[in-house]
Structure 1
Amino acid sequence: MSPADRWRILHMVEAAEQALAFVRNRQRTDLEADPMRRLALTRAIEILGEAAAQVSDSARIELDDIPWPQIVGMRNRLVHAYFDINLDILWDTVHLALPPLIARLKPAIAHASPDLD
């Protein structure tokens, strides 16, 4: 894995961990009541998706069990349809998809060259 790919995957992990921190000990209804939390959560997922979009094809092949198109697609949806975000999907994505994604990406970072661009 190239240093640039390692850097982008590190950004993905950091954004995913931030998103999880934003919802820790919270309920789904907190997104309705707290616009700052909702925006922070949305932005974390946007960052995760943007970093994923920058990962090279060779790294995507190496990590072929990662749902790259879905991650990037969610980012695109959040950015371009910002006025129509389904908070249930956002909430479920954070709770259901991010823990296994982090669990898969962290070892990839650990096994990659530590030299960063």
Structure 2
Amino acid sequence: MWRDDAYLLDMLIAARIARQFSEELTWEDFRRNSLYQHAIAKALENIGEAARKISDETKMAHPEIPWSQIIALRHRIVHDYFRLDLFKVWDIVQHDVPDLIRMLEPLVPPEEP
């Protein structure tokens, strides 16, 4: 579907932002600072929002991407924010997001100079 390229790019940008926000942080920095918590949660929410809009055809063509888990996390952030497990969010941004970036990069058309 033609719009999928834009949603995949949205996912990639949000994933890169989440990693950028967490790059210089330790777990203790993240745990103690609500600004970082909110910024990273928002980036993860944006990944899930874009993933929700990806066509079923694209999702089926790329089963290596955990679409349902990404979308479920978005729902959790949006609808149950005050019960988020901060350690789980930290683990996702440290381990899952870099993997997601690697999976998305080949799917996104190259940026023009």
What is residue 78 of structure 1 aligned with on the other side? 77
Aligned counterparts of 2:33 and 2:57: Cα–Cα separation in 1: 40
What is residue 43 of structure 1 aligned with on the other side? 42
The one-letter amino acid paired with 1:81 is D
Instruction: State the superposition RMSD in angstroms.
Output: 1.4
What is residue 11 of structure 1 aligned with on the other side? 10
What are the Cα deviations for residues 62-104 of structure 1, in whole angstroms up to 9, with x where unaligned?
1111110000000101111111110100000011101111111
Quote the sequence identity (%): 33
What is residue 99 of structure 1 aligned with on the other side? 98
The alignment of Structure 1 onto Structure 2 pairs a total of residues equal to 111
TM-score where L is the length of structure 2:
0.93
- Matched position secondary structure for 2:30: helix
What is residue 27 of structure 1 aligned with on the other side? 26
TM-score where L is the length of structure 1:
0.90
Structure 2 portions without partners, runs of 5+:
none
Q: Cα offset for 1:33?
A: 2.0
Structure 1 portions without partners, runs of 5+:
none
Aligned counterparts of 1:72 and 1:89: Cα–Cα separation in 2: 15
- Matched position secondary structure for 2:19: helix
What are the Cα deviations for residues 38-81 of structure 1, in whole angstroms up to 9, with x where unaligned?
10000000000000000000010111111100000001011111
- Matched position secondary structure for 1:3: coil
- Matched position secondary structure for 1:110: coil
What are the Cα deviations for residues 5-59 of structure 1, in whole angstroms up to 9, with x where unaligned?
0100100000000000111121111123211111000000000000000000001
What is residue 61 of structure 1 aligned with on the other side? 60
Q: Which runs of 4+ in 1 moved over 2 A?
A: none
